[in-house]
Structure 1
């Protein structure tokens, strides 16, 4: 089993992310717990504990227990912590992703022996065969497409009716981010794009994605939705949008940027 990287009897004051099945525990005040480990009042001993970062000079630890179940109301997803600021959300996303890594790398995938957590970096090491594993990161592209004051938005089969977002997809092996953006748009809605511009990135626990955002111009083609992937897609006036992702998400930021660009064009 992967070992603890902190003595649970220590009096170190820290911020704690207690994770179970992709969710994060909040204390009775609805906040992320702070203090020493002994004061967390958990009902079960953790399987793994490891340092995942720092917030305002305070160490931040992940606590994982795969069998620990408590009051459902006390557990939230990382997305529900978006309003707590980028730093807290990134730590929440990291906590959930690292918890999944620890859960799925307790034993070596090469020889089957128990893995140990490396003390000087975030990695799992097999002491028998030397196989070393790092947390997986799956790059994903987001593309906001503009054309004559409109934006192309789609609703996937996973989203509720009335909720739309920009197009997205995972990067394939030996593919650049730009190639993935062009391919995904063509596959999902049958449209060609041009003038691709990078906007930014955001870690996203889906469960271990790194979202990379672009905006692009429409180059041609009619909307043809990819079966089993896209339920519907339409051109929407940037001044009259349906329900879209919040501004705290990278998708929401891209949509807002395209709205601002359209407003600046009208002003000139």
Structure 2
């Protein structure tokens, strides 16, 4: 979705290239200002995409090649900004990455194979040969923190293992077709650690643009069973005393929020 930009219009600029984002080294990190004041190379805004608004100001996605020097900031990973910037602004940055990925991976129609075209009034791609239309993919996931008396269940995932600083976190998994969120919570917990749970409570959600998940967070209480780790998903899982925790996810993650909420419930 594109629109004309007034010369004196202030906007947030999400400039992406090769999986990284241009960020300043202080403040809100994301470049902000109008075209005339910013040192953008000529023509860089020609293929901008309107993402939405933050603090009542428009946000634009710009995709450039070969990490083009845009005259300000440096290219950084999105993960490096997690927990360091306002949550809503981080969500907008995540939206930029997801929209960029959508356009890159939907160049051809999945129904007839013809070339897809951008729709200029919404973020979508359309095949004018068979009229098939696609929208950005969102993958629903659950994530759950589980309490047992004064302890919390934490697991070391295969994808989180680091030789020097392993991070222990909550259980999570993708929702399957035709499955409710609560059923997904029960299934994922039983599949990954062999436990039955009860008192499942929804807490909050978080867009998770790695690459296009929507995490829906829950808390639950232990019901029955002994820990039996699925080696395809986890390296280890244990009950940890609330005053003796291993290294847990950083602030800004939904996992950290669920862990902290569960710790309060344990006290």
How high is the TM-score relative to the length of structure 1?
Answer: 0.87
Question: Could you list the runs of 5+ residues in structure 2 that have no partner in the other structure?
Answer: none
| Count of residues in correspondence between the two structures | 258
Question: Could you list the runs of 5+ residues in structure 1 that have no partner in the other structure?
Answer: 264-268
Match of 1:243 in 2: 247
CA distance in 2, matches of 1:9, 1:167: 47
Match of 1:230 in 2: 234
CA contact (8 A) 2:44 2:62 kept: no
Counterpart check, 1:15 vs 2:12: yes
Match of 2:223 in 1: 219
How far is 1:47 from its partner? Answer: 8.7
How far is 1:221 from its partner? Answer: 1.3
Match of 2:213 in 1: 209
CA distance in 1, matches of 2:26, 2:141: 35
Query: RMSD between aligned alpha carbons?
Result: 2.4
How far is 1:168 from its partner? Answer: 0.6
Match of 2:141 in 1: 140
CA distance in 1, matches of 2:179, 2:60: 35
CA distance in 2, matches of 1:11, 1:101: 30
CA contact (8 A) 1:247 1:256 kept: no
Match of 1:185 in 2: 189
How far is 1:44 from its partner? Answer: 8.6
Bigger helix fraction? 1
CA contact (8 A) 2:50 2:58 kept: yes
Match of 1:256 in 2: 260
Deviations 1:182-239 (A, max 9, x none): 1111111111111111111000012000000011111111111112220111110112
CA contact (8 A) 1:155 1:233 kept: yes
Match of 2:63 in 1: 64
How high is the TM-score relative to the length of structure 2?
Answer: 0.87
SS of residue paired to 2:129: coil
